[in-house]
Homo-oligomer: A and B are copies of this chain.
Amino acid sequence: MKSPLAVVVLAAGAGTRMKSALPKVLHPVAGKPMLAHVLASVARLKPAKVVGVIAPGAKSVAKAFAPYPAAVQKRALGTGDAVKAALPALRGHSGPVLVVYGDSPLITTASLQRLLESCRKAGASVGVLGFVARDPSPYGRLIVNGGTLEKIVESKDANAGERAIDFVNSGVMCLDGARIAGLLGAIGNDNVKREFYLTDVVGIARARGLHAVAVEGPEAEFQGVNSRAELAAAERAMQQRLRSAAMAAGVTMIDPDTVWLSADTKLGNDVTIGPNVRFGPSVTVASGASILAFCDIEGVRIGKGARIGPFTRIRPGSDVGEDVHIGNFVELKATTIKRGAKANHFAYLGDSEIGAASNIGAGTIFVNYDGYGKYRTLLGDDVFIGSNSSLVAPVRIGKGANVTAGSVITEDVPAGALAFGRARQETKKGRAGPLRAKLQARAAAAKRQKGKK
């Protein structure tokens, strides 16, 4: 076998046990579809061709394969049949053909690379990724003899000696593109389910005097997903991989089991992450920033030394500058907040720019939506917004301006100006008592009324 490489990604499985309207391979792990993880691992091999195999009518899966083509497996007649469905798309390809699975999102490029290398070096027409299983009983056993993979024996067909073997088939294979059509064509369906099993190609190849090899990979990479419980297990395995990588790069996680990362989360060294932080897609956190407990963060660049949380929500399109503090019960959406600015408590900051060293009081709302359009709130540097204020967008507050607590701001405030929009306090001595008596009487009347009904 030699380059170029083709990859067949099997994604036609029904996924009945998922009990879902969503096709199985589109269920997300670490924030993106399982299939996207597999395609990402495959893409790093720089294949010349990638072909998906999908079930009839699975448009959303075909779309997830784009720009790669997807071949339709007309009936669910087994893995051998599924790969056959990809053959027309492979016409003329004579390099190696990898077969991988859209519902096994943990496969790594490194393992695939190792399989390819082993096949190339050994001149094997068939290569299989195997693993040493903690519990081999559900898997086909790999019968290896002096470096040659002789056959794959299904668990139910294994004799006592074969059953004792714990080196088993992952399903991931590499086939010689020049021979793939012949090998697949020889697979029979003389079995209970009347299906064509891809695993048979090993025995077929050997019977033709071709070489076959088995390459060991880690069991964790071959976890397939057929149920929600297995989906959760895959998510867990992926999260552990992401967390370990982050910690190795110098990130402190108080409790790694409660930090949920996305595949694309980027965390600098000496970033500290408290318990219970969820990172949605597209988050970058610079060195020395802290994300305290109970945060839900997505689509944001967070600068050096910034302090976020606890209880902060950040939504996409945001940019948090160096040394910015975002505190509890604060929501950011499509907001840029510059160096040293603070919004320490209770604030909705949407569609806005906040200048450096500005201070946003507790209870501030940027009123960005009027039922029809969304508008922007633009604050200069060194602005002070008093607590419980509403800034009705579109509105600009100039550099160094003050807005007093409890104001509704509907017009621009020039730099250096003071703005307010609130009623003056009135105090009525001795009037709490009569008011309370009235409220109490009203409550009693309401109670009586309820009783009557």
Contacts and interface: CB of A to CB of B under 8 A. Distances in A.
A411 B384 contact: no
Given A20-B270, A244-B229, A294-B294, A255 B235 contact: yes
A400 B431 CA distance: 10
A39 to B, nearest CB: 21
Given A22-B270, A392-B405, A446 B363 contact: no
Interface in A234-275: 235-236, 239, 244, 247-258, 260, 269-270, 274-275
A367 B387 contact: yes
A181 interface: no
Contacts of A407: 423, 425
Interface stretch (A46-54, A192-200, A436-444): A436-444
A346 B348 contact: yes
A373 B441 CA distance: 9
Contact of A430 (B371, B417, B435): B417
Contact of A431 (B275, B362, B417, B423): B417
Contacts of A424: 421
Contacts of A427: 411, 413-414, 417-419
Contacts of A311: 296, 311, 313, 329
Given A255-B260, A409-B425, A384 B371 contact: yes
A429 interface: yes
Given A346-B348, A417-B431, A365 B362 contact: yes
Contacts of A348: 345-346, 362-363, 387
B432 A418 contact: yes
Contacts of A59: none
A386 B367 contact: yes
Contacts of A435: 402, 418
B345 A331 contact: yes
Contacts of A22: 270
Contacts of A436: 371-372, 384, 402
A231 interface: yes
Contacts of A409: 425
Contacts of A270: 19-22
Given A375-B446, A400-B433, A425-B411, A254 B235 contact: yes
Contacts of A260: 254-255, 275, 293
Contacts of A419: 425-428
Contacts of A251: 228
A234 to B, nearest CB: 11
A348 B360 CA distance: 14
Given A231-B252, A255-B236, A345-B348, A373 B446 contact: yes
Nearest to A249: B19
Contact of A425 (B276, B372, B408): B408
A232 interface: yes
A334 to B, nearest CB: 13
Contacts of A114: none
* Residue from A228, A256, A328, A431 having most chain B Cβ neighbours under 10 A: A228
A32 interface: no
A352 interface: no
10 contacts: A228-B252, A329-B346, A361-B367, A365-B388, A371-B439, A390-B405, A417-B428, A418-B431, A421-B424, A422-B422
Interface of A: 18-22, 27, 227-229, 231-232, 235-236, 239, 244, 247-258, 260, 269-270, 274-276, 278, 288, 292-294, 296, 310-311, 313, 328-329, 331, 345-346, 348, 350, 359, 361-363, 365, 367, 369-373, 375, 384, 386-388, 390, 392, 400-402, 405-411, 413-414, 416-433, 435-436, 439-440, 442-443, 446-447
> 4 tightest CB-CB pairs across the interface, nearest first?
A19-B250, A373-B443, A406-B408, A421-B425
